[in-house]
Amino acid sequence: MQREDRPNTFAAQGLREILARQPQVASDPVFYGMLSQLCMRLLPSVMVKDVLGSLPIHAYANTGERLLATLRTLGFVARELSLPAARIRLWHLPALFLDEDGERALLVLAQDEATCVLDHEGRTVARDALGRGTFHCLSREAHVNPLSEESRKHRRQSWLHALISTFSPLGWVIALCTLFVTLLSLAQPFVIAAFYRAIFAQGDTATVPWLALALVLVVLAIQCAMALRAHALAWLAARLNYLVGRATFEKIMQLPIAQSRELDAKGQSARIRSFENVSDFLASPLALALLDLPAALAAGALIAWMIAPVGLAIGLFGLCYLALFFVAERKMKVLTSMNSDLATRLQHTMVETFAKRELIRECGLQHRWADLHKTAIARAQSVTFAIARLMAMVEAVSSFLFAATFITVVGLLALDAGEHRLGAPQMLGVVFLTALVAAPLHGLCMAIPRFEQARRALEQINTLMQTESEIELDAQRRRLPALRGEVSLASVTMRQGDGRPLLLALDIETRAGEIIAITGAAGTGKSVLLALVQGLASPSFGTIRIEGVDIEQLPRRTLRSAIGYVPQAPALLPGSLRENLAMANPLASEEQLRKVLHSVGLDYLDLDARDHDCDPLLSFIWQFSLAQALLASTGILLIDEVPNSVINGPFGKVLRKVLRSAKGRLTVFFVSNRSDYLDLADRVIALRHARTPLIMTPGELAEVA
């Protein structure tokens, strides 16, 4: 099969071809046509997988909404312009015009100091034909996106702060509801006092129905405002939980391989779900109680205005509440940190135990390992008990302050009653206002564990989102050159975590189209060598060059997508075989797909991959994985070690055929310990434990053996 150079970015014709092959293109030609125009003219270097990954999977009301959703996924900020077509200027462009129904889309560009309007087929349209609709100004500049690093730097905001600030209109709704509740809560005691005075002091039964109606209306208004505020908070919590969960998942998937490997599956899952602590708090009654703190301050000021001694006493109790909160919060911060670290160690101990259970059993260390596990559990439980004990003490002190506040207020009111400065209705109002002050402060103290959990969750999320992703790192690297297959490894050394060398001073330069075999005992670094060539790992010492360029200067994602790779344990993703092949090279034509399948002895495209992914020893899986690697490869092909049970079957014949046909076309690195396959190589890298590898021809290797 002849090698075909595949560009890493879209050419105009390639873009039209790949989008034209989408099965839904017939149902919405405007969407796919306009998307191709937008990408070709505004994103000339976008990668195939990024565009295909941006295609919406959910149903939208019209073509315009689908286009806007796709553009946002591709990194555009679409700002709607409330201007007629005649007032659109060059500084508003590029812009997307959508008619009133959202089914007609036009791209408006600045071209040669003039405005150019294009339809979904790239044809020029007269500006007068725009009609009625809306313009959406498109921009990918960092300062326009509030979540970009540049924008956050100027505003001095963390990632989460910037995200929450995008919901500022909803924040105003919550603030107005809180202000409304505060005002009505302050008015409620006066309505009750008037009701009390009319019945018991004046005996005016005529005004009772009106006062009762006013009281009912005040209570209903407070409940409605609180329900609206609770609904807004719940929606905000759910929306933030979705956005943060999606963003953290994407960030973890885009982390550099070295960092991603440091996190186990549970650790990564915990990071994704860490914001649930914050969203649960926002949707809890405690959050609503804390929003009443402004009402508490206003109620305290009103009490101080009505009767100074009571206001002073409430102020002193408020200071006691705040002192309790800050002291307990500091202790809770330390205990929560200790609890988190101990839980992480306990989790790692469990993972390590299951990973090394055979070795532990063989060495007779079960009792020792059990003691380590018991000690870790005891430490974690002791910290958990300390947290529970601290909260019990906080609850006891807070409840005491709550009761003492009312007792003190009632006592001071009783002393004041002798001086006849306040009547019974006013005293009743003061007691009611006291409840408005004490309840939020009590809730503040009881929410200390939630505060600390939310704080740690925010820190983890902000730390993760500030980490540079592989996409951001690749943007700083040079463009990947066309791969001919020239690979150079100079003094490459790879050490294990404990410092022992896995690869030691490997020096080799391969020519384009050369077949290189890798052999050696288990644990000598055969698979690690393939990972180094792909950029999945970095050497401890030495340099790897591809086409004469240091691999550290090459974009890793583009490099991996251009190198064909057959792993030790190939697997198929859900979907048809055609869809699995398209993941390797979305630009491949129907003829190319059938040709590459035929080259590995397969002839069907539309079968479900799950029908063949039931037995890991099936030769079919390796044949199909080899087809994916050949389809993806533009110059370098890597094949990891294949089990003898597979290589003795049909796959062995296919592999021989591919290795023979690849000479002079593809540079191939393949792992094998079988002499009949080593003979197919031009040179052999013989890896040895903690020793410099041997590089020789198959004949020389046979003589040494």
Lookup: tokens for 74: 């591709």
Structural domain contains residue 401: yes
Residues 422 and 511 placed together within one structural domain of the fold = no
Dist. CA 328–CA 331, nearest whole Å:
5
Residues 127 and 170 placed together within one structural domain of the fold = no
Beta-sheet strand order (sheet of 549-550)? 501-509, 487-495, 541-546, 549-550
Give residue 10's pLDDT.
Answer: 42
Instruction: Write down the mean pLDDT value for the chain.
Output: 79
How many structural domains compose the chain? 3
SS (H, E, C) 90-125: HHHCCEEEEECCCCCEEEEEEECCEEEEECCCCCEE
If you average pLDDT over residues 209-216, what whole number do you get? Answer: 76
**Backbone phi, then psi, for 648, in 5-degree steps?**
-80, -10
If you average pLDDT over residues 541-557, what whole number do you get? Answer: 87
Residue type, 307: I
Tell me which residue has tokens 């890493």.
8
Residue 545 sits in a domain of what CATH number? 3.40.50.300
Lookup: tokens for 274: 């860490």
Residues 498 and 598 placed together within one structural domain of the fold = yes
Residues 421 and 556 placed together within one structural domain of the fold = no
Lowest mean pLDDT across 26-40, 440-454, 478-492: 26-40
Structural domain contains residue 151: no
CB 701 within 8 A of CB 686: yes
Residues 178 and 136 placed together within one structural domain of the fold = no
Residue 350 sits in a domain of what CATH number? 1.20.1560.10
Which domain-ending residue is among 73, 106, 140? 140
Q: Is 506 helix (H, G, I), strand (E, B) or coil?
A: strand
Residues 464 and 497 placed together within one structural domain of the fold = no
Between 274 and 183, whose confidence is greater? 183
For residue 262, the tally of other CB atoms under 10 A from its CB is 9
198 secondary structure, DSSP code = I
If you average pLDDT over residues 297-308, what whole number do you get? Answer: 84
Structural domain contains residue 152: no
If you average pLDDT over residues 224-235, what whole number do you get? Answer: 87
Residues 428 and 463 placed together within one structural domain of the fold = yes
Give residue 270's pLDDT.
Answer: 57
If you average pLDDT over residues 204-231, what whole number do you get? Answer: 80
Structural domain contains residue 178: yes
Give the pLDDT band of residue 316 (cuts 50, 70, 90): very high
Say if residue 505 is exposed, middle or buried (CB neighbours under 10 Å; 0-12, 13-18, 19+). Answer: middle
CB 628 within 8 A of CB 622: no
Structural domain contains residue 154: no
Lowest mean pLDDT across 66-75, 383-392, 544-553, 632-641: 66-75
Residues 455 and 527 placed together within one structural domain of the fold = no
The percent of residues in the chain predicted with pLDDT above 90, rounded, is 5
Give residue 144's pLDDT.
Answer: 59
Give the pLDDT band of residue 518 (cuts 50, 70, 90): very high
Residue 16 sits in a domain of what CATH number? 3.90.70.10
In the predicted structure, residue 449 carries a pLDDT above the cut 70: yes
Residues 171 and 249 placed together within one structural domain of the fold = yes
Dist. CA 202–CA 424, nearest whole Å:
13
In the predicted structure, residue 420 carries a pLDDT above the cut 70: no
Structural domain contains residue 2: no
Structural domain contains residue 533: yes
If you average pLDDT over residues 48-71, what whole number do you get? Answer: 75
CB 610 within 8 A of CB 574: yes
Which domain-ending residue is among 440, 470, 500? 470
Lookup: tokens for 390: 């601290």
In the predicted structure, residue 669 carries a pLDDT above the cut 90: yes
**Among candidate residues 548, 546, 566, the one with its CA nearest the CA of residue 556:** 546
Residues 491 and 465 placed together within one structural domain of the fold = no
**Among candidate residues 637, 627, 640, 534, the one with its CA nearest the CA of residue 582:** 627
CB 391 within 8 A of CB 453: no
Give the pLDDT band of residue 523 (cuts 50, 70, 90): confident
In the predicted structure, residue 532 carries a pLDDT above the cut 50: yes
Structural domain contains residue 591: yes
Residues 555 and 649 placed together within one structural domain of the fold = yes
Give the pLDDT band of residue 12 (cuts 50, 70, 90): very low
Tens digit of each residue's pLDDT (9 = 90 or more) over 66-124: 888 888 777 777 888 777 777 777 777 788 888 877 778 888 887 777 778 887 777 88
Give residue 17's pLDDT.
Answer: 61
Residues 328 and 265 placed together within one structural domain of the fold = yes
Range of the domain at 451: 161-470
